[in-house]
Amino acid sequence: MKKVISVYQMQAFVVILSLIAVMIVFSPSAHAAKLGLVSAWLFEDNGGKVVKDIVSGHDGEIKGTLDSVKDGKFGSALKFEGKGDSYVRVNHDDVFNSDTYSFVAWLKLENASWQYVVWRNGDVWPEPENVRHLDIWIHTDDYPVFMWHVDGNVGRIDGKTIIADGNWHHIAKIYDGKNVQMYIDRKLDGEADSGGTLDTSESPIWIGARPGPVAATGLFDEVGFFTEALSEDELNDVMDNGLAGYAAVEATGKATTTWALLKTTR
């Protein structure tokens, strides 16, 4: 009897060790993701109140009512109805204060007056202090605007391309520690000297709205945050192939798991 129990115990021990090894090799990690990809919200959740970050667990909470739809740019997308109380909120993490970063998203926005893509300056409006590190909104004339603060002073880029037209557009804000660049559909649409190191805060990320009645109307897909300033070639690859491949985890150069099967381009 003792020998039989010992065999079962050994088998259980082997199974546990195997599971631990799989978790180590295949668990998403911000350090293992490529090009400094910290967070990737693919909107494949299809219901519920949580938007999964497949890279490092910076999951977003859906506030209000947002619907998952099947006709995203890659697989499913999240639909925003232009309601200020309906958005995705991601809790603060110091990684989002990165000295260099790239923020990317696929958007299919309707023509609407004043819309918000992403906001990071607190949960109230007007904000108590000017420390916008990440701020993208859509002008009433349907072009994008990037804003930031350095020592409380505002920096701004007004885009030239109309993107609130009911079509899919890829938008990217790239900050290399000195310059801020606006890319729309793989083309440089604006550029400016940041004026210094961007102000930082402990604010959450709001996707699709800012405090107050300013929100997006349309679809969001493939929202990502990198701690590196992507090159044009890297940005083009992200745009063409999606974030899933960059969220792949490589362990000792051998085993790789990818989320690519989750997404189908359109």
pTM of the model: 0.84
Q: Please, what is the average pLDDT of the chain?
A: 87
Query: Tens digits of per-residue pLDDT, 55-100?
Result: 999 999 999 999 999 999 999 999 999 999 999 999 999 999 999 9
Tokens encoding 32? 């293992």
Query: Tens digits of per-residue pLDDT, 123-142?
Result: 999 999 999 999 999 999 99
Residue whose structure tokens are 């909470």: 61
Query: Tens digits of per-residue pLDDT, 6-40?
Result: 544 545 544 444 443 433 333 444 345 899 999 99
CA distances for 68 relative to 10, 26, 50, 157, 182, angstroms: 45, 27, 11, 31, 28
Of the candidates 26, 23, 24, 95, the residue with the CA atom closest to the CA atom of residue 58: 95
Domain map (residue ranges) of the chain? 3-262
**The CATH number fitting domain 3-262, selected from 2.30.40.10, 1.10.10.10, 1.20.140.10, 2.60.120.200:** 2.60.120.200
Chain-centroid distance of CA 122 in Å reads 18
